[in-house]
């Protein structure tokens, strides 16, 4: 890769890290502020209410996917990426200053809800814009490697959040964390987003977009054009289903599961998540490079087979892990399996669409799938727990992976598709020469 390509990957990844830091710290710190916004009562019920608002953010992601995906296809990837980080900064500020139930009653919940809606808009566009940008900014033979940095930066954002939590757990009392300490990460996130805003204002547009006539095509970024590529859009939704449920199970939900279900201390559960996620982050580029050599499908199939057959035993053993090392080993095993999806899903989705519809084509169907499955994963898990049927959630995750497995087995390879093509309202005109042998059956 050349210096300019590395610069594009760095700027795109740095912004992505801050975006996902802000997104994940809500879930990470929810155990500390859940009781602040609702009347005193059942702790699990308050956590469910708080995570219900977390899920609402996911249901705004399709709106953000449509709006910012359209901007990304019509105004450029840079414009979309700059707008996403602006929205995220505003949402972080709102959460940082949100009044508690004791101060404003349910007014605090209203502020929290507005903030999550803004976050949903932002992340709904961020995923697709960064996936498209990282894929287009790399050399054709390095797309898997380059796009893997999307989950490197996403995981880095979560690690920074967990690291901040570990520091606060060791420097503040439990009462202080519940009282005001949980606001600190949202202040940090707002400041980080402001810095990234200035970085993204000077970032370079991708050559694939800049050199194409997608920038002058009146049909670019429209729902009509997306409908012409509905097969690819449905494929994105189906291949996302299993991956997003598994990812959120072993990332955002893992710490709560270890503390609430496995009976670990919060500090130990947080450390398990931090260490497992750090290794997970480091192996993303390795898996991306592997996909550049052997193709995308083998990794996707490996993930789906592993998640289908290993989820139930891994989650069952995690519940009885008891101490750090067994929990760490099991969590790492699960995340290694998930790597088959996370390391390459960005480039696979981007490779399915022509330039003029690539951002919207990735954004909207992915956001819909995330709203239905990723955003509800924790809520579903807590629902099963409250109903005293926690093992039912394990089977739910395995079942979602099984559905995606069928898709991976029937889809065609995307590794060698040429990105330098432009979409139009006519699906036949927009399709590349090799598409009939590359897309889903």
Residue indicated by tokens 């035993």: 313
* Buried/exposed 314-336: b ≥16 CB within 10 Å, e otherwise: bbeebbebeeeeebbebbbbbbb
**Angstrom distance (rounded) from CA 310 to CA 305:** 8
Kindly compute the dihedral angle of the four CA atoms of residues 217, 220, 222, 224, in this order, to the nearest 10 degrees: 70
pLDDT at 233 over 70: yes
**Angstrom distance (rounded) from CA 129 to CA 12:** 9
pLDDT at 441 over 90: no
**Angstrom distance (rounded) from CA 224 to CA 337:** 37
pLDDT at 288 over 90: yes
Residues with Cβ < 8 Å from 429, sequence gap 6 or more? none
Written as six digits, the tokens of 266 are 């919060």
What average pLDDT does the structure give for the chain? 88
21-25, 97-101, 242-246, 430-434, range with the lowest pLDDT: 430-434
**Angstrom distance (rounded) from CA 362 to CA 131:** 8
Q: What phi and psi values does residue 438 have, to the nearest 5 degrees? A: -115, -30
**Angstrom distance (rounded) from CA 138 to CA 142:** 6
Written as six digits, the tokens of 28 are 């990470």
Confidence bin at 51 (pLDDT 50/70/90): confident
- Counting residues of the chain whose pLDDT is more than 70, the rounded percentage is 93
**Angstrom distance (rounded) from CA 222 to CA 229:** 11
Which pLDDT belongs to residue 124? 86
pLDDT tens, residue by residue, 57-91: 878 889 999 999 999 999 999 999 999 989 998 99
Ordered domains of the chain (ranges, CATH) = 3-437 (1.20.1250.20)
Which pLDDT belongs to residue 213? 63
pLDDT at 44 over 90: no
Confidence bin at 440 (pLDDT 50/70/90): very low
The H or E element containing residue 166 is: helix 149-171
Confidence bin at 235 (pLDDT 50/70/90): very high
* Buried/exposed 356-379: b ≥16 CB within 10 Å, e otherwise: bbbbbbbbbbbbbbbbbbbbbbbb
Exposed, middle or buried, 110 (CB in 10 Å: 0-12/13-18/19+)? Answer: middle
Which pLDDT belongs to residue 57? 80
**Global pTM?**
0.85
Residue indicated by tokens 């710490």: 255
pLDDT tens, residue by residue, 302-329: 999 999 999 999 999 999 998 999 999 9
Confidence bin at 425 (pLDDT 50/70/90): very low
pLDDT at 216 over 80: no
Residue 138 near residue 24 (C-beta atoms within 8 A): no
Confidence bin at 219 (pLDDT 50/70/90): confident
pLDDT tens, residue by residue, 109-147: 899 899 989 998 998 888 889 999 999 988 899 999 999
């Amino acid at each position: 890769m050349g210096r300019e390509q590395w610069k594009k990957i760095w700027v795109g990844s740095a912004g992505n890290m801050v975006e996902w830091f802000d997104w994940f710290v809500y879930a990470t710190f929810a155990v500390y502020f859940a009781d602040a916004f609702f009347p005193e009562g059942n702790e699990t019920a308050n956590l469910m209410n708080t995570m219900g608002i977390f899920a609402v953010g996911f249901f705004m992601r399709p709106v953000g996917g449509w709006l910012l995906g359209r901007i990304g296809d019509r105004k450029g990837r840079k414009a979309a990426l700059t707008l996403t980080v602006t929205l995220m900064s505003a949402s972080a500020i709102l959460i940082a200053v949100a009044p508690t139930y004791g101060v404003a009653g349910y007014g605090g919940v209203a502020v929290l809800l507005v903030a999550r809606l803004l976050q949903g808009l932002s992340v709904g566009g961020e995923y697709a814009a960064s996936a498209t940008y990282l894929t287009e900014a790399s050399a054709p033979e390095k797309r898997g490697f380059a796009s893997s940095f999307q989950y490197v930066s996403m995981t880095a954002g979560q690690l920074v959040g967990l690291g901040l939590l570990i520091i606060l757990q060791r420097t503040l009392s439990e009462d202080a964390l519940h009282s005001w300490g949980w606001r600190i990460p949202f202040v940090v996130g707002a400041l980080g987003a402001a810095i990234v805003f200035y970085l993204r204002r000077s970032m370079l547009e991708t050559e694939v977009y800049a050199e194409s006539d997608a920038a002058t095509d009146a049909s670019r970024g429209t729902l009509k054009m997306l409908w012409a590529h509905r097969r690819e859009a449905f494929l994105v939704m189906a291949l996302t289903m299993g991956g997003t449920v598994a990812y959120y199970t072993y990332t955002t939900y893992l710490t709560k599961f270890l503390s609430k279900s496995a009976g670990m201390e919060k500090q130990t559960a947080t450390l398990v998540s931090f260490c497992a996620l750090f290794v997970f982050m480091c192996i993303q580029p390795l898996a991306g490079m592997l996909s550049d050599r052997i193709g995308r499908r083998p990794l996707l199939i490996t993930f789906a087979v592993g998640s289908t057959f290993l989820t139930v035993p891994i989650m069952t053993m995690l519940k009885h892990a008891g101490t750090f090392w067994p929990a760490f080993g099991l969590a790492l095993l699960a995340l290694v399996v998930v790597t088959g999806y996370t390391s390459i899903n960005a480039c696979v989705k981007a490779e399915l669409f022509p330039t003029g519809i690539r951002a919207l084509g990735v954004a909207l169907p992915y956001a819909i799938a995330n709203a239905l499955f990723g955003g509800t994963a924790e809520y579903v898990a807590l629902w099963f727990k409250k109903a005293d049927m926690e093992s039912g959630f394990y089977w739910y995750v395995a079942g979602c992976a099984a559905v995606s497995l069928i898709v991976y087995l029937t889809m065609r390879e995307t590794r060698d598709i040429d990105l330098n093509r432009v979409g139009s309202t006519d699906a036949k005109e927009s399709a590349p020469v090799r598409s009939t042998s590359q897309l889903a059956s």
